Structure 1
Amino acid sequence: MARVFYIVFSTLFFLSCATTGIEKTDNGIIVRVKQENSHTAKTIRLNVIDNNIIHVSAIPGKIFSDEKSLILRPGLKRSGTFSVYENGDEVTLSTDSLDVVIRKSTGEIAFLNKKGETLLQENKGGGKTLTPIEVEGTKGYTVHQLFESSDDEAFYGLGQHQADDFNYKGKNESLFQYNTKVSVPFVISSRNYGIVWDNYSLSKFGDTRDYADLDQFKLYGEDGAGGGLTATYTRKGDSTGTIVRQESKLDYQFIPLLENFPADFDLNNSRVTWSGELEAPESGLYRFFLHYAGYIRVFMDNEPVVEERWRTAWNPNSYKFEYHLKEGERVPIRVEWEPDGDVSYIALKALSPVPEEEQNKLSLWSEMGNGIDYYFVAGNSMDEVISGYRTLTGKSQIMPKWAMGFWQSRERYKTQDELLETLAEFRKREIPIDNIVQDWSYWPEAEWGSHKFDKERFPDPKGMVDKIHEMNARIMISVWPKFYMNTDHYKAFDKNGWMYQQAVKDSIRDWIGQGYIGSFYDAYAEGARKLFWKQLEENLYSLGIDAWWMDASEPNIQDNTDMDYRKKLCGPTALGPSTKYFNAYSLVNAEAIYDGQRSVNPDDRVFLLTRSGFTGIQRYSTAVWSGDIGTRWEDMKAQISAGLNFALSGIPYWTMDIGGFCVEKRYEQAQHYYNATGIENEDLKEWRELNARWSQFGAFVPLFRSHGQFPYREVFNIAPEDHPAYQSMVYYNKLRYRLMPYIYSLAGMTYFNDYTIMRALVMDHGKDPEVNDIGDQYMFGDMLMVCPVYEYKATGRTVYFPATTGWYDFYTGKFIDGGQKQRVDAPYSRIPLFVKEGAIIPFGPEIQYSDEKKPEHITLYVFAGKNGTFSLYEDEGVNYNYEKGAYAIIRFNYDDATKTLVIGDREGSFEGMLQERRFNVVYVDKNRPQAVDPDAKGIEVVYTGAAQKIPLEK
């Protein structure tokens, strides 16, 4: 009571005092900080969004920008009461959930819960640095915010990256958009808070420095001579043209740098090595950055630090590794590289050591903004933090039910007949499918951006779409924000100043045919977004197209260009310089189609798939895929942690190219050899196993789709019917469809409960500290634990069973105690799956497409050991009536003490809803193990909407 009185009294006191440097606003407070350093914050604003969300803004001046945030959802309303009190140098803003303390002398902020425990604290002194920057006449600040972090804390989120990092504690990650790299500046902590960083420019998590070239070390060649490593360029099978020279840098990362390779040396069919020794100028942990295309291996002190990796030439990959070095100690280094063709890329750089206590802090840096601008989001769980993220940035829409089914694609179907014949083959073989995809280049070669089909290859687009619909499937089509200069659509944008001009000025030709000049439209302009939709509506949506594939939405105007030139290519934008708006293109591009389609057909659910994403993109019914990844086992493994961190970034719908997109030549050659001879060589064996394993994994991510370059990705083109790869892929396809009631219920929860479908173990089992660093197994919903196999010829893998519950083997029903690691069986045809105690999982009928049958008969598996709940969600599946209350929920509650299941009263209704159905309840406990079989016989229950209590053990 005394504290409450003090808060009220002090509030009245300081509000009456004009000299405290504190100003109360409708939503919070503004604090004036007296600091001499010109690069620190002088004015700090705290705004209350709700009891769990605080908006922090900081500037060196006095007047805050009134620019509208791109990431906040339209119509965001502030709620929650707060009070403010002053105690010496500290001012506290207090909500029902948080106390936010700011020091008047430094601007340092701390966020505390109501127990007085510090959740997050800015670095001593405030941790804020703001350095003036001016670009193209626009002024702003390069900003850096540093927070303290406890040793046991873990960080996740940041979007989707390919270095196979899971827990980002002590790691570094550059946040920019590129093919296979999706940057979302939202970080979530294992301590159940998150930071939504409101900035659209190039950003960094961790170390703010750029990676430096190898000449930061003393380098010695193979002969011991100082000044550089020995670079040896050799043609395979021909040593006469070998070139040996000394190189002090290994930096061939971008197009302009390729001219530094030896003149007249053809990289095609060659080997290059860099070898010698390096000597560090100081002792400590060095963090290395490897950029590569082709085959690469790296050795330090004659031990491999990078096992063989590969990536195609036009789409290099990046990888990071760490190595301890001692000052003055010479360490052997060797880089072995086989370029991918005559144009290929490679670079090796490093960051010098920083003290561990500094490296482990939470650090966010951005190149350009109006000031420091972030939202602190607290919760009692990671789900609550993600709910806060969506409170700010927008609800995730419920995807159409058919989007939960299987998607088939390939690099492209070249003709109308090819596409229709493929879909017909699925139906003939009774392999479930809901969607087929028409990727790029369906237009006439010289008319990219026309949105018109090539009449010779696609003579009847409307008829093609109609036939797809007649076969009970949907079609998604690739639409790029790219336009050739000669198209009418380019000219329509250009006359309004809505085309980026640098690519045209520089006559950049793409890779198609003779090479054509074009550029991308400026999606930051409202008028341009409306025009983009109008063109799509007139040319494609009018044909009955169901979904949109928004490729190259980084925007990727030219591959393998340095950062400065990338900015020139995609700017200036209608809002300002591309330096400031570098990362948010995919967000406004998605807005164009989402708003456009809902404006002309508000009853038709929008589905967008984009190669890039940004904070808030989930509000535009958008899923993101991981780009043109490689077809290697290490690429498959990296997708697990990439997908989990993307989900932890608050965006629930993610997918990948099952099997990878960019294909090693050995797999292409193996497929051609098989087509000619019918012989499965060793490379084809591996290709088939890779696709089988990847498809097993892909069946348990939010969206299930296969896509990639040749060899073709249809299951019947990967392997014959009697092959274990074929049989396994079909099994998991059908299992996915039997799980449709479960999966669609999860989709409903993403909207109504701000749920996350693909769940890192730390989300549901965070009380077990062992799970903080486990990024290669996860929960699909909170009932199923998925453990992908990502090694060739593996027949088992190690699985950690979180201590928070017991587990059942999906295939045998065997019970496993939590809190232990086990080596589990993983035969070729099966992915390890486990079900938690208390799980309730519904299985529907066998179907060929999502709405073939209504689930009148659901097999309901109940797993004993703990109490459990599940809510079966249903609606009309294709429209937005759920936003108006047209949906139904049936809640199931299992009580383990009494061994009873209660099926609750049906809540809600919608047109076409089943009035009566049967539940086949199968009960599993540790004393009666049994495999999961959707057709197993159990206790039959006729349900008409009224609650029922079912004893499961007599």
Structure 2
Amino acid sequence: MRKIRVNSVIFICAVCLYTHVSGQESKNFVRTGTGVEIDIRNSYSGIKKIRLEPVNDQIIHVTQISGPVFNTKPSLMAVWKKNTGQKFTVKEENGQVRLATGAVNVNVSLENGLISFHDDAGKLLLEQSQQMGAAMVPKVFNGESSYQITQLFNAADQEAYYGLGQHQQSMMNYRGRRVDLIQYNTDIAVPFVVSNKGYGLLWDNYSITRAGDIRDYEPLSTLRLFSGKQEGWITATYTSRKNPEKVLLTAPVSEISMNWLTDQHKWPKEIIMADAVVTYEGLLESDLEGLYQLQLKYAGYIKVWFDDKLVADYWRQAWNSGSSTIDLPLEKNKKVKFKMEWIPDGGESYLGLTCLPPVPENLKNTFGLQSESGNAVDYYFIQGNNADQVISGYRQVTGKAVLMPKWAMGFWQSRERYKTQQDIQQTVKEFRDRKIPLDNIVLDWSYWKEPEWGSQEFDPARFKAPEQMIKDLHAQHVNLMISVWPKFNSGHDTYAQMDSQNFLYRRNIADGRKDWIGNGYGNTFYDAFNPEARTAFWNLMNKRLYSKGIDAWWMDATEPDMHSNLPVEIRKDLMNPTYAGSSTTYFNAFPLVNAKGVYEGQRAVNPNDRVFILTRSAYAGLQRYAAAAWSGDIASRWEDMKAQISAGVNFSLSGMPYWTMDIGGFSVEKRYEQPNTADQEEWRELNTRWFQFGAFVPLFRSHGQYPFREIYNIAPEGHPAYRSMLYYNKLRYRLMPYIYSLAGQSYHQDYTIMRGLMMDFPNDMKAANLNDAFMFGPSVLVSPVLEYKATKRKVYLPSGQGWYDFYTGQFLKGGQDIQADAPYERMPLYIKEGSILPTGPDLQYTAEKKADPLTILVYTGKDAVFSLYEDEGTNYNYEKGAFSQIDFSYQESTGKLTVADRKGEFPGMMKSRTFKVVFVSPGMNVAADQQDHKSAQTLKYTGKKAILSKNQIK
């Protein structure tokens, strides 16, 4: 008995020791079924309780609250299922609670609540800054209690930040920058950031958010201003446009803030805006040296000079003002000459200039997130060995990127707008007659009767037989996408039905605002946060559009943009209250729930055909609703084309693989509407260069205001513009086996198609921060030509591998800048050493013929792999395993290509096929755009493993 008792005591003590170490119980924390809840003693930030929940080994869900009870309201963006089987350990030591998974260790200070994240080897990945402010400041919005939410993190040496949606400042790396996450035409807010240090952060909040440098912008008078020798202001000089020598007015200025419709009273009453040019001149100075970031908001023509050097030259239509960040480095007490010339756009226009002073020392190496409204600090830490793993973690939390129909990878023709049924039919006929490849044509807004926006009905005077029109398009293998807005004009049956069920926001109606159509109509948007309203919206679309055969949806103005150029506080008023709560709390999430209703509605009605949605705005989680985004109503300018590179790459790094833009830009300067010879040639070259670029983004789509955007309307057949655009259109289709394989990987392996160079070359910081190039898939380096009349451009070839010229096969070493040839008809393209690039036959549409034979270009010098993905192309059987993969692998040491056994199958799959394999080595003259290669070796593939060398088949 005595021995038994001793052993029992030993056993009990061992249990106690295990319990303490593993964290089964403690006075400071409680282990739950899915994680741990920690009480914080003396948090200066106001945080009283922290919950850590492992989603898997690499993802930790962090929730911090200022009270005793965690909120149970479900997330709109996150859809992961809480995992009670996820393994982790918890222990308390040295005043910290540590949660450990197989990949991540999280430490929480019991004293102040500061959190740090480490990998499994103990390397620090991320930590909160000790520059603590209040993490949760109590607020009340529309009668609902809430908090302003803030979190500040330390930034490591050479840490760079990417993602955060889509923005138009031509910035790739957001370190040291302020990024405003607010839905706006041309800007998309996605609160997901990817670091080059092996992690990402998904910020689960729907309100307007600041990221990076979260300080307030300050007025221009933050700087010391001089007009000549007079301190205190700069001078604005108003002159006549017709007679520039005629001065209409001079005035002292220390603030430039005519940003919105509500600011128009700031314009001098005695001057007609459309008749004037304004020049601002003076000197800028500060005793605090460093980088000042000037935030410029503009409409019309704007030019800015520092010390007589032109640093900004932009244009934008007044109904959709643009913004830009201009860097102003200042030396202590050294004046800089400042000049800004503004030609307003018409009778209403916008101009604002604010300033972000140099970052204070205590904030220099930090990265912050601050949201207007929320009930908790709520985010996901996602560890990954590379950006692809981080993005895969984002999709585990927010949902898979469903596979788009294959036809969506082809060419889309659009314009603003096809006004009649005959316009559409004639355009398609012209494409087919000219043998210009085409898969999709788009019908933009106003196909309805003028007063009946929101009726979702065709105007019978202009579209006499829409169902027959769609059948005729389908017979020519062309799909029809149609524009559907979340907008309803008052005064017709659909508005009355939606209003009677309390499905509409009513403030815009009560305010008496009218839109810009005809004499103007009262209008508002529906409340997409209301599930019943979403159902009603889809039922209307289904009854009046989808049942007629419509293939895809263009969801416009989904910010929501009820009335352009209003300040954000009024925009929030117009959508208040939402079904979910205060519009301040839910402002950014409208495009997510709007797409949700359409996606779920169509899949319920037709579970077979793939949904396709194109939306002007997006939010975290949108990829699970078969939705792509485009970059909004950008301008037809060279600088706007350049801005699309960083806009598209950072959007893709935000976790959503399908992005596009208006090739040629949407908003057009008047000089192009009735151009002289010089302007017409610039218009043609601008569209050609943009078209070359557009062939290498995930979705290939032309759209914009007049002049018409069909290539035969841009330039006559035989013109170099026409020849080049036709070449790149056909090249896109030749690359379809490569492109659709990338789309398949985006679903099955969480891949990203349009890739920032930091994804594939993380150790090459020069490449990682370039804003003028990107990778299209794993193999193709794309360097668009961004200057008028340029026939060469500087291209940086990332280090660590060689590069092959796409058109000639010339081999070049990486890690160098080159002056690449860029004749009018060609854009520089390079193939990474160690690539396998499959190309297919010429096509007029994606489903015209089987992809056989395929040319397999093997770019030697390094080992290479590629997986050829195929499925039925239009249905959801791939979700049930109906697809095939053929894995190609090249081994440089042996010079052999292995084609593995085919994996999987699907109805209609080719059982046997022909591969024409070309091994490309330095010194060979191999053009990737050719179909017939003298050095090609033919492999008859039956689904069984085969090995091909440079000399023989085994």
Shorter chain as denominator, the TM-score bin is over 0.9
Q: Distance in 1 between matches of 2:350 and 2:134?
A: 37
Unpaired runs of 5+ residues, structure 2, are 1-12
Distance 1:127 1:782, change over 3 A: farther
1:270: how far off?
2.2
Are 2:602 and 1:597 aligned? yes
Give the share of equivalent positions with the same residue, in percent. Answer: 49
Question: Are the equivalent residues in 1 in contact too, given 2:483–2:556 (CA < 8 A)?
Answer: yes
2:202 corresponds to 1:196? yes
Instruction: Quickly say closer, same or farther: Cα 1:76–1:853, change in 2 above 3 A.
Output: farther
- Check whether the contact 1:867–1:893 (CA below 8 A) recurs between aligned residues: yes
Of 173, 176, 179, 1:170 maps to 176
Measure the CA separation in 2 of the matches of 1:240 and 1:926.
65
Q: Distance in 2 between matches of 1:890 and 1:250?
A: 60
SS of 1:583's equivalent? helix
Alpha-carbon offset, residue 114 of structure 1: 1.3
Per the TM alignment, residue 582 of structure 1 is displaced from its structure 2 partner at its CA by: 0.7
| Structure 2 residue corresponding to 1:584, chosen from 589, 611, 619 | 589
One-letter amino acid of the structure 2 residue matched with residue 304 of structure 1? L
In the superposition, relative to structure 1, how do residues 619 and 217 fare at CA in structure 2: closer, same or farther (>3 Å)? same
| SS of 2:583 mapped into structure 1 | coil
Match of residue 537, structure 1, among 536, 542, 545: 542
Q: Name the structure 1 match of 2:682.
A: 686
Deviation, 1:75, is: 4.6
1:99 corresponds in structure 2 to 105
Q: Which residue of 1 aligns with 2:937?
A: 939
Give the drift of 1:759. 0.7
Contact 1:49 1:79 in 2 (8 A): no
Relative to structure 1, is the Cα distance of residues 197 and 128 closer, same or farther in structure 2, using a 3 angstrom cutoff?
farther
**Superposed CA offset, 1:581-602 (max 9, x none):** 0101000000010000000000
What corresponds to 1:511 in structure 2?
516
Residue 927 of structure 1 aligns to a residue whose secondary structure is coil
User: Is 1:30 matched with 2:26?
Assistant: no
Report the alpha carbon displacement of residue 256 of structure 1 after superposing the two structures with TM.
1.1
**Residue in 2 that maps onto 1:88:** 94
Q: Distance in 1 between matches of 2:903 and 2:532?
A: 43
Give the RMSD, CA atoms, in angstroms.
1.7
Report what 1:949 is aligned to: 947
Alignment of 1:907-946 (within 5 A): 907-937=903-933, 938-946=936-944
The answer to whether the 8 Å contact 2:97/2:107 transfers is yes
> Distance in 2 between the 1:441 and 1:613 partners?
23
Shift of 1:549: 0.1
Q: Is the 8 A contact 1:314 1:559 kept in 2?
A: yes
Tell whether 2:342 aligns with 1:337.
Answer: yes
Q: CA deviation at 1:36?
A: 6.0
What residue number does 2:576 align with?
571
**Matches of 2:728 and 2:107 in 1, distance apart?**
52
Q: Is the 8 A contact 2:43 2:113 kept in 1?
A: no
Residues 296, 134 of structure 1: alpha-carbon distance in 2 compared, 3 angstrom cutoff: same
**1:495 Cα offset (Å):** 1.6
Return the offset for 1:24: 1.0
In the alignment, the residues of structure 2 paired with residue 457 and residue 10 of structure 1 have an alpha-carbon distance, to the nearest angstrom, of: 81
Displacement of 1:822: 1.1
The answer on 1:857 being equivalent to 2:853 is yes
Offset at residue 78 of structure 1 (A): 6.1
* Contact kept? 1:826, 1:832, Cα under 8 Å: yes
Q: Which amino acid aligns with 1:376?
A: F
Distance 2:835 2:505 in 1: 53
Query: Which one of 142, 145, 156 corresponds to residue 139 of structure 1?
Result: 145
The answer as to whether partners of 1:122 and 1:146 remain within 8 angstroms in 2 is: yes
Residue deviations 1:85-108 (CA, integer Å, cap 9, x gap): 111211110001111111110111
Q: Which runs of 5+ in 1 are unaligned?
A: 1-5, 674-680
Q: Give the 3-state SS of the residue equivalent to 1:742 in structure 2.
A: helix
Alignment partner of 1:552 is 2:557 = yes
Is the 2:912–2:940 contact (alpha carbons within 8 Å) kept by the matching residues of 1? Answer: yes
1:874-885 matches, within 5 Å, as 874-885=870-881
Paired with 2:362 and 2:193, the residues of 1 have a C-alpha distance of 19
Given the alignment of the two structures, is residue 705 of structure 1 paired with residue 705 of structure 2, yes or no? no
How far 1:303 moved relative to its partner?
2.9
Equivalent position to 2:327, from 300, 322, 339: 322
CA distance in 2, matches of 1:66, 1:732: 52
TM-score when normalising by structure 1? 0.96
What SS class does the counterpart of residue 909 from structure 1 fall into?
A: coil
- Per the TM alignment, residue 123 of structure 1 is displaced from its structure 2 partner at its CA by 0.9
Matches of 1:7 and 1:92, distance apart in 2: 21
Query: Following the alignment from structure 2 to structure 1, what is the Cα–Cα distance between the partners of residues 530 and 858?
Result: 53
1:284 is displaced (CA, Å) by 3.2
Contact 1:277–1:330 (Cα < 8 Å) also in 2:
yes
Once the two structures are overlaid, the 10-residue window that deviates more, 597-606 or 773-782, is 773-782
CA distance in structure 2 between the aligned counterparts of 1:847 and 1:569, rounded to whole angstroms: 48
Following superposition of structure 1 onto structure 2, how do residues 332-731 of structure 1 map, counting pairs within 5 Å? 332-355=337-360, 358-670=363-675, 681-731=677-727
Match of 1:809 in 2: 805
Equivalents in 2 of 1:9, 1:164: separation in Å? 58
Q: 1:15 to 1:944 in 2, by over 3 A?
A: closer
Q: Is the 8 A contact 2:88 2:101 kept in 1?
A: yes
Shift of 1:478: 0.2
**Amino acid across the alignment from 2:29:** I
Instruction: Tell me, yes or no, if structure 1 residue 115 matches structure 2 residue 113.
Output: no
Amino acid at match of 2:613: L
CA distance 1:125–1:312, change in 2 (3 Å): closer
Q: Answer whether contact 1:15 1:23 (CA < 8 A) is retained.
A: no
- Cα offset for 1:804? 2.0
Task: Mark the CA change 1:240 to 1:939 in structure 2 (over 3 Å): closer, same or farther.
Answer: closer
Q: What do residues 484-506 of structure 1 show as CA deviations (whole Å, max 9, x unaligned)?
A: 01122222221222211111111
The 2-side partners of 1:757 and 1:375 are apart by 24
1:906 matched residue in structure 2: 902
**Structure 1 residues 406 and 98: alpha-carbon distance in aligned structure 2, compared to 1, 3 A threshold:** same
Contact 1:107 1:125 in 2 (8 A): no
- The CA distance in 1 between the partners of 2:186 and 2:25, in whole Å, is 53
Decide whether the 8 Å contact of 2:22 with 2:91 is kept in 1. no
Residue 259 in 1 paired to residue 265 in 2? yes
Post-superposition Cα deviations, 1:273-311, rounded to whole Å, max 9, x if no partner, equal 1122334364332211000011111123333332x1111
Please point out which of 738, 750, 765 is paired with 1:754.
Answer: 750
Shift of 1:434: 0.1
SS in structure 1 at match of 2:587: coil
- Spell out, residue by residue over 1:857-891, the C-alpha distance to the aligned partner (whole angstroms, 9 max, x if none): 11111111111111111100000000011111111
Task: Tell me, yes or no, if the aligned pair for 1:102 and 1:110 is still in contact at 8 Å.
Answer: yes
CA distance in 2, matches of 1:380, 1:54: 16
TM-aligned CA deviation for residue 19 of structure 1: 6.0
Other-structure match for 1:3: none
TM-fit CA distance, 1:212: 1.9
| Alpha-carbon distance in structure 2 between the residues aligned to 1:286 and 1:929 | 50
> Does the CA-based 8 Å contact 1:11-1:83 persist in structure 2?
no
- Distance change >3 Å, CA 235–CA 30, structure 1 → 2: same
Say whether 1:65 aligns with 2:71.
yes
Check conservation: 1:272, 1:336, Cα contact below 8 A: yes
What's the CA shift for 1:614?
0.3
Residue of structure 2 aligned with 1:826, choices 814, 822, 828 = 822
1:43 aligns with 2:49: yes
| Aligned residue identity for 1:721 | E
Q: How far does residue 438 in structure 1 lie from its aligned partner after superposition?
A: 0.1
Counterpart of 1:288, as a letter, is L
SS in 1 for 2:725: helix
Question: Match of 1:795?
Answer: 791
Mapped contact 1:10–1:86 kept (Cα < 8 A): no
Q: Distance in 1 between matches of 2:678 and 2:470?
A: 40
Q: Which amino acid aligns with 2:941?
A: Y
Residue identity matched to 2:752: T
Letter aligned with residue 943 of structure 1? Y
- Contact 2:658–2:698 (8 Å) recurs in 1: yes
**Corresponding residue for residue 677 of structure 1:** none
SS at match of 1:105: coil
